[in-house]
Amino acid sequence: MSLHIRLPQAYIRCRLTSLRLRQPIKERMSMKMHMAYRKFWLIPGAILILAVIGCCITIGIWQSGPKLPKLRTAPTFSLPNIQGSPVGLSDSAGKVRLIEFFFANCPDICPATTMNMVTMQNHLSESGIFGNQVEFLSITFDPERDTPEALTAYAKQIGINQGPGWQLLRGTEQETQQIANNFGIMVVKQKDGQFAHSIKSLFLIDGEGVIRQVFDMGTTMDTTEIEKSIKKLVKSL
């Protein structure tokens, strides 16, 4: 005959507690220190991870920046280049275009603008996108003095690499002034043969023929910002 004895619950709890207390003091201290160590690093670690994620998001936004606005469709035109071949805006469809209105005898703003464009030409050529994805078009509104020979000399002197990446265009004075007016540029011929014209006359046009930005000419040009905008549009081609 077997005898079963039911022990009180309080006695069992007491025994379990005494067994725990028998663990070596050093082992219990080690466990407590380990738990404290984990808690100590948990919050800073989480903060560090969130900071890294936030930094990556910020850098991504900074690099891409906001999308460029679509201002309006660029006016169409067709003018002969230095070689006499007709060049229309639609001929370079699918490329990012930067259009400059100038005249070679300009004493200040025009040559400063063109030299800045030469700097951008060199940078974009190093990136491998000048000519095949980006094209510059310079339109003179002084065809009487800006003959093909004069423009060839101007291009050589200032460093323009003529070809698929950059074309100099000319037409009759009436034609070029009409095109400039269609772009919203004021051009007034002075008595001395010089021209007064709008300073904000550098147009960035996307591959679909839409004006995305209009920049100041001359020494106030921000070539770094213009290059960023060009590359941003190239990515969307």
Q: For residue range 122-137, what is the model confidence (pLDDT) as tens digits?
A: 999 999 999 999 999 9
Question: What is the structure's pLDDT at 42?
Answer: 52
Asked whether residue 162 is domain-assigned, the answer is: yes
Which domain, by its residues, includes 102? 72-235
Same domain, 133 and 55: no
Based on the structure, what is the number of domains in the chain?
Answer: 2
Same domain, 54 and 107: no
Asked whether residue 4 is domain-assigned, the answer is: no
Same domain, 95 and 212: yes
| pLDDT, tens only, 217-228 | 998 899 999 999
- Give φ, ψ of 186 to 5 degrees: -90, 130
Same domain, 58 and 154: no
**C-alpha radius of gyration, the chain, whole number:** 36
Asked whether residue 220 is domain-assigned, the answer is: yes
Distance CA 171, CA 141 (A): 8
Same domain, 161 and 49: no
Annotated binding site for Cu cation: 106, 110, 197
Same domain, 23 and 88: no
Same domain, 78 and 191: yes
Question: What is the structure's pLDDT at 62?
Answer: 45
Among 64, 87, 110, the domain boundary falls at 64
Annotated binding site: 106, 110, 197
Asked whether residue 145 is domain-assigned, the answer is: yes
Question: What is the structure's pLDDT at 41?
Answer: 53
Distance CA 28, CA 211 (A): 73
Same domain, 44 and 110: no
User: Which CATH number does the domain housing residue 83 bear?
Assistant: 3.40.30.10
Among 188, 218, 190, 187, smallest CA distance to 202 is for 218
Asked whether residue 2 is domain-assigned, the answer is: no
SS (H, E, C) 115-156: HHHHHHHHHHHHCCCECCCEEEEEEECCCCCCCHHHHHHHHH
Question: What is the structure's pLDDT at 3?
Answer: 46
pLDDT at 173 over 90: yes
Same domain, 210 and 154: yes
Among 191, 176, 236, smallest CA distance to 210 is for 236
Same domain, 112 and 15: no
Same domain, 115 and 201: yes
| pLDDT, tens only, 179-236 | 999 999 999 998 888 888 888 889 999 999 999 999 999 988 999 999 999 999 999 9
Among 64, 89, 109, the domain boundary falls at 64
Question: What is the structure's pLDDT at 14?
Answer: 47
